[in-house]
Structure 1
Amino acid sequence: MTSLAAIIAGPMLFNYVQYIQSSLQEELDFCSHHTHGLWGEYEK
């Protein structure tokens, strides 16, 4: 029974961690892009 739970929970946990990592990467890219835009405006 425990091994069955591990077989089911393992991939679910992996997918959840991958989803969180992907979401954080998108947020980081968004912030980085806008930061560069702000520095460009500041330099003008």
Structure 2
Amino acid sequence: MAVEICVKAAVGAPDILGDCPFSQRALLTLEEKKVPYKRHLINISDKPQ
């Protein structure tokens, strides 16, 4: 079972990981511990409701 994680997308490029250090730290931790995850990129200029 994969963990779902929502992270900030890059400004102007909603399909690329953004510059949020907190999101990057969480992703690095999941990678290092080999935890399966599913990444959801959130476009800050078009936030979901």
Structure with larger Rg: 1
TM-score, L = length of structure 2: 0.31
Say which structure is richer in strand: 2
User: Greater relative contact order: 1 or 2 (C-alpha under 8 angstroms, separation 6 or more)?
Assistant: 2
Say which structure is richer in helix: 1
TM-score, L = length of structure 1: 0.34
